[in-house]
């Protein structure tokens, strides 16, 4: 999956490409544009509003997962890659990485899943 090629890319607030660094929404926009040609723009909350709601139990690789990480709805987004895992660009570690949806921190902050595919 295209997203895995971004592992360890540096974090930068507002970042939209790997050379300059990525934030969570910039990473999603970059992945969708490069891998599918689909334009997915905006911050995490705007991306959530444009996607099709799906049940967490029906997640497929490429779907988006959203979290409340700053006491703000839909403040963080990642790309689901299967097996309870997602790729995201957290500011806390400064690098794009893989985490589990069931991990304590993310499980407690999970808000919704969205798909941009039929």
* 17-63 tens-digit pLDDT: 999 999 999 999 999 999 999 999 999 999 999 999 999 999 999 99
**In the chain, where the domains are located:** 2-115
Q: Is the pTM of this model over 0.85?
A: yes
**Whether the Cβ atoms of residue 45 and residue 75 lie closer than 8 Å to each other:** yes
Active site residues: 24, 76, 88
CA-derived radius of gyration, the chain: 13
The superfamily (CATH) of domain 2-115 is: endopeptidase domain like (from Nostoc punctiforme) (3.90.1720.10)
Could you tell me which of 66, 96, 93 has the C-alpha nearest to residue 80?
A: 66
The model's confidence at residue 79, banded by pLDDT at 50, 70 and 90, is very high
The model's confidence at residue 83, banded by pLDDT at 50, 70 and 90, is very high
Cross-strand pairs, 88: 78, 97
Question: What percentage of the chain exceeds 70 in pLDDT?
Answer: 100
Q: Which helix (H) or strand (E) holds 32?
A: helix 24-36
Question: What percentage of the chain exceeds 90 in pLDDT?
Answer: 92
């Amino acid at each position: 999956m295209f997203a895995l090629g971004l592992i360890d890319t540096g974090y930068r607030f507002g970042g939209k490409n790997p050379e300059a660094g990525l934030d969570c929404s910039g990473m999603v926009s970059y992945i969708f544009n490069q891998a599918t040609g689909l334009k997915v723009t905006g911050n995490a909350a705007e991306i959530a509003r444009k996607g099709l709601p799906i049940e967490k139990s029906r997640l497929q690789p490429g779907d988006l997962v959203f979290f409340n990480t700053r006491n703000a709805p839909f403040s963080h987004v990642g790309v689901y890659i299967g097996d309870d895992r997602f790729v995201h660009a957290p500011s806390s570690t400064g690098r794009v990485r893989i985490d589990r949806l069931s991990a304590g921190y993310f499980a407690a902050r999970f808000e919704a899943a969205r798909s941009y595919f039929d």
